[in-house]
Amino acid sequence: MTRHLITSALPYINGIKHLGNMVGSMLPADVYARYLRQRGHEVLFICATDEHGTPAELAAQEAGLPVAEFCAQQHEVQAGIYRGFELSFDYFGRSSSPQNREITQHMARQLNEHGFIEERAVRQVYSPADGRFLPDRYIVGTCPHCGYDRARGDQCENCTRVLDPTDLIEPRSAISGSTDLEVRETKHLFLLQSKMAGEVEKWLDEKSGPWPTLASSIARKWLSEGLHDRAITRDLEWGVPVPADTWPDLAAEGKVFYVWFDAPIEYIGATKEWADAAPDENRDWRSWWYEAEDTVRYTEFMAKDNVPFHTVMFPATQLGTREPWKTVDFVKAFSWLTYYGGKFSTSQKRGIFTDAALELLPADYWRYFLIANAPESDDSSFSWELFAGTVNKDLADTLGNLVNRVLSFSRKRFGDDVPAGGEPGEAEQRLGEEIAGLLEDYQNAMESLQYRKAAQALRSLWSAGNQYLEAKAPWIEIRTDQDAAALTLRTAMNLIYLYAVVSEPFIPGSAKAMRAAFAADDVSRQWVTADEAKALSFIPVGTAFTTPPVLFAKVTEEDLEAYRTQFGGED
């Protein structure tokens, strides 16, 4: 089986993430990782908190904490939330780790040795009010391209254009708000991307053929506009320091690497953290990243604003080292999840963030809704009405109600064991064929990372069971033919078991509860073949079973009113 390396965009350290961050990288990566593990592949799923850069320093300053302490606390907070969402990271690291520092500095030295880093004198914004040079993210102003009035000095988050601080209209300090800014000379390291433009383009031609349009078009746009040399150091107190053995003067000035230089390298750093965390297990981090081009398939998940850095700047960094680092094979990019068409906002108490979501409802409600409505090609909009409709129709009515009524009715009429009944007939044969076909649709969608199609196929699998029950009507059959009713219920129980297995990537908690309902659950079973799906004979006659608590409670109108009041609704 193929070895699969999976990374999701690193969540930034300054604050709890909203649902858009969850569906834009970490959750779909988890669904894919779970699916691949079920299919027997070796998977390494890596993520980490992104802890360097201006926002971390500003957030720590606002919290009144040293930045290292602030980041350590926030890492634990975020890790706890992701455990609550049942994200199955093999390792969730930190970009401030010694491993990331070591590998980042190593790559910088290699790039320098091969002529891809140059020290240049530059004119940089200095704030007399703050008594320091201002890194690009310490400067905010109006974007010259789209007019967004809170654009940062490195990138406009509204139109995603990459900027220099001097491009901004009416720039001001993000620390003091002062507009009294000067331009002074200082020195920084530049990554000579212009020297690698042809090489990066050739790499992209070879790699990006199967990528979704959203990812490939953004990468192509960057290349078509021309690759420019980019400063990769900043004047910050917190970050990976420039190594003194290579650049002693800059190290003495306290220069650190730009967060977008070291953050993607943290995928490698976190893999080394994973290996170092279990020395007795002889984990080989290099086998995933070094000389692994033909032995590992590497898939990245990210929102569209992260695509340029991962498809151009990070590959340029890897290629420029002239070392055999594993580069990405497939990039799955997502558009934005909005809140009633607008942005999530902590300050305006608009939208629901991941910690609050888990306080309201179990993780599976959110996991299923977000994947079923994933913004794969265009932006999608969260609304409480859409959320309630999805939960109530798909989870509560279609899946949860089937599980409850089948197990409750069988227990009431036939006791606590799976009933024998008659032999499968034409209806069961048709059902098996239908289930096998829908399972193939589900597998194809999952293999191609088409999440909405996968959710639709999963929903169709659940619906097929309901249609079978409605057609056979065991609550009527039992009046005249107990064996026929027993057969119908036994078939439906086998459907429940199948649903438990194949639904696990979407709703792992509920899948576990469904499997646990049957005493003879084969815990070694990871997937269902087409022939097994046709036969629907997973659970032997006489197997003891229990009826689990209600899997999914409906979202009521009273709930909706409370949610809109607490988190905001349509304006």
71 assigned binding-site residue: no
DSSP element (H, E) containing 183:
strand 182-191
47 assigned binding-site residue: no
CA distance 289 to 283: 13
Give Dmax (Cα) for the chain: 93
Measured at the CA of 431, the angle between CA 398 and CA 423, to 5 degrees, comes to: 120
Q: How far is CA 417 from CA 217, 336, 348, 493, in A?
A: 56, 48, 54, 11
146 assigned binding-site residue: yes
For tokens 């659950």, name the residue.
521
Please, which contacts does 408-415 make with residues 24 or more away whose CB atoms are closer than 8 Å? Answer: 408/547, 409/474, 409/475, 409/489, 410/486, 410/489, 410/493, 410/545, 411/545, 411/547, 413/478, 413/485, 414/486, 414/489
416's tokens: 């606590």
**Helix, coil or strand: residue 8:** strand
The answer to whether 44 touches 295, Cβ cutoff 8 Å, is no
Task: Count Cα neighbours of 28 within 13 Å in the Cβ-side half-sphere.
Answer: 35
For tokens 């890897």, name the residue.
318
156 assigned binding-site residue: yes
Q: How far is CA 57 from CA 13, 155, 255, 256, in A?
A: 10, 18, 15, 13
427's tokens: 């209806």
143 assigned binding-site residue: yes
**Feature table: binding site for ATP:** 346
**Feature table: binding site:** 143, 146, 156, 159, 346
**Feature table: binding site for Zn(2+):** 143, 146, 156, 159
